[in-house]
Structure formats: C-alpha cells, structure tokens
Structure 1
Amino acid sequence: MNFWLVKSEPDAYGWYHFTEQGRAIWDGVRNYQARNNLRAMQLGDQVLFYHSVINPAVVGLASVVKEAYQDPTVPDDPRWVVVELEPVMAFDLPVTLSQIKSEPLLANLSLIRQSRLSVMPVRPDEFELILKMGQKRMLDDRMSE
C-alpha cells in the first residue's frame, strides 16, 4: 500500500463537499509530476485530504477506489488522468501546516519541500504520524464536550 496527500481549496472543493458527494473523480491536475503521482496510485492506497490556502491543514483520510484513467474533462488530451477517491474518515483535529512544519519528523514531507504540488507521495512513517496527530484529542477538547 502507498500513501499520498491531495490538496484542494476548501472554498472550491473541501472535505464537506467530498463527504457529501461520497465519491470523487480527482480531476483538473495539470502538473506533470502530480499527474505521474496520480498514475502511480493503486486501489486501496490511503490519501490524506489537505485544505490549502484558507486555514491550511490535513482534515481527513480518503482511499483510492479507482486507479488512473483518462481525465473526462479533456477527452482529447491523453496526457491527463484522474483517479477516484472515497472518504474514509474526518480527523478529530485538523493537522495544520504550522504543526507539520514544527514537527522535525515531517521536515522532508513533500508538502513542505514542494508546496505548490497538488498530489504527492507520503512516506509510511510520515503518514502514520500525521494520522496520529489528527486523531489525538486533547484533554481540554474532551472536557468541553
């Protein structure tokens, strides 16, 4: 299994839109490196869903449910592909970009090194750490419920 991170602006297509839709065609990628990452995704791969621009943070987890195929928004251009994703779970706490940047174990994360890339691989150790950070509820949060 491989791990990935996809970025989306929450006003254009955020976690809420994704979960309401229930399944999404991840289209519109027009960067060759990001496209190559889409092509490398395999059925069952786990994907971190990242809100960019406004309150940047990893907000949820998705899964690849259909591997790369021709992007239907540009049927005459074979260079571009899409994958299909389904939401798995929302994070208890968003993992903010500032938290990611302050964590030494995430210093080599592509999100930091190639901030404009919209689809990127994540190493298993990075994935596990971000997942743990997103699922950890602080004592103060529990007391306020």
Structure 2
Amino acid sequence: MQTNNTYRLDDEPRPGPLARLAVEPLWPLLGLMLGGFWLGLPWFVFNGFAVGSPTRVREAVIAGLGLLGTIGIAFALIYLWQAGYLHKDGLQYALLVLVVWKLAVAYALFVAQSATIEIYQYYGGVLNRFGMPVMLLGAFVLRGVVLGLLPFTLWQLVLS
C-alpha cells in the first residue's frame, strides 16, 4: 500500500500551465485605473487562476460583485440624472461614487493577490515581464476602441 504524504500549505499557490502568463498584481491594478474596468477586472481574475491562487474563487467573487455593484451604481446615476434629481454640477460629484467603488474593488483584488504572488515568487515562480506593455496598450490604444463599441452611457460608465 502506497501513500502519498506530501506536505502542502493551505495558502500555497498551485500554478498551472498558464502561470508563465501571470504578472505582478500592480499591472492589473494600473490597467484598471488607467484603462478601465474592462481591462483590469478580467486581468485580475486571469492572474489568480494562472498562478493557482488559493483565493482565486474569492477573487472571482469580488470581481463579480464589483461588476454588479458598478452596474447598479451606474443605473442609479442614470436614473437620478434622467429624473432630474441630479444636475450637471451634482452629477460630477455623484460620479465620484462610481470611481471610488471601482478603486475599492481594484484595491481589494490587489491585496488578495499580492500575498499569493509573493509566495509564488519566493518559491521560485517567475512572473511574466510583459505587464507594462499590455497595460499601456490597453490604457492608451484599446480603451477608446472598447468604450466606443456601443454608444450607450451605461456601457461607458461600467467599462471605463
């Protein structure tokens, strides 16, 4: 009878074949800040699954709740604008709620991934060095293309 008694830490990453595409969590954070939710949110989720993060399901749930919250806030802002409760000056301040929400979600994902990435690197894992070019391409070239795909205000509020 053969038993496999390998010792594994609960918070140890279990990288898969996509681990070579994982990047520092700083790049998805900056991608979300400069490029928008469309760039940073899926990148965080991909990064968590690629490196085999033990919190990847929690990170995906945070990303999903972040997206749902963003849609809800955007709907509320559009409704308040169309109903006449918000005027032009008030709308500019109300949009800060959306920005703060997105940044809070991004920071929560960044913190959740940072610990796993550090453990991954400590035990010899190598991260991809193409985070900055991808972030710059998405933020300064593709952002206008993605936001211009549909001419709806909700589309632009959610994905920006």
TM range (shorter): under 0.3
TM-score, normalising length: structure 1: 0.28
Greater fraction strand: 1
Greater fraction helix: 2
Ranked by relative contact order (alpha carbons within 8 Å, sequence separation 6 or more), the top structure is 2
TM-score, normalising length: structure 2: 0.26
